[in-house]
Amino acid sequence: MKDQTYRNTKQRKRILEVLSMTDIHPTASWVYDQLKPEFPSLSLGTVYRNLAILEEQGLLIKLHSGSTFDRYDAMVSPHAHFVCKVCGGLFDIKDMELGELKHSAEIKTRHHIEDVKLTYTGVCDDCLNKEMKD
């Protein structure tokens, strides 16, 4: 892929700001809903295009959580995720040393690993507590 230079737009800047202010790993539709009052002519297609550009620039991560829609994360430092199979919640798991996992896998396989994506699945604490009350 060739290097592409994009001009900075107000919409793209605000999309990144909105993503940076939340840890819910929103969908493009959620981002659109947040910014539509500020940018009345904004289209969902524009949001998707800008999310793709921000991902290409390494400023966000697109997450495939197993649901119908991709979700987005502005925390680009290596970290794991947890997906609740009951409510569909997607949570960050910080402070795990993914670099050590990568290094260990490289030694065992002799492959050069460029990226690690670790996703745990199970039942979140809120859903577990709801089940215990029922």
Q: Does residue 110 register a pLDDT over 60?
A: yes
15-35 pLDDT, tens digit per residue, is: 999 999 999 999 999 999 999
Q: Does residue 3 register a pLDDT over 70?
A: no
Exposure string (b/e) for 45-83, b if CB count within 10 Å is 16 or more? ebbeebbebbeeeebbbebebeeeeebbbbeeebbbbbb
Angle at which helices 44-56 and 28-35 cross, to 10°: 120
Residue 66 confidence (pLDDT): 67
Residue 45 confidence (pLDDT): 97
Residue 1 confidence (pLDDT): 43
Nearest to 73 by CA among 91, 97, 100: 91
Q: pTM of the full predicted structure?
A: 0.83
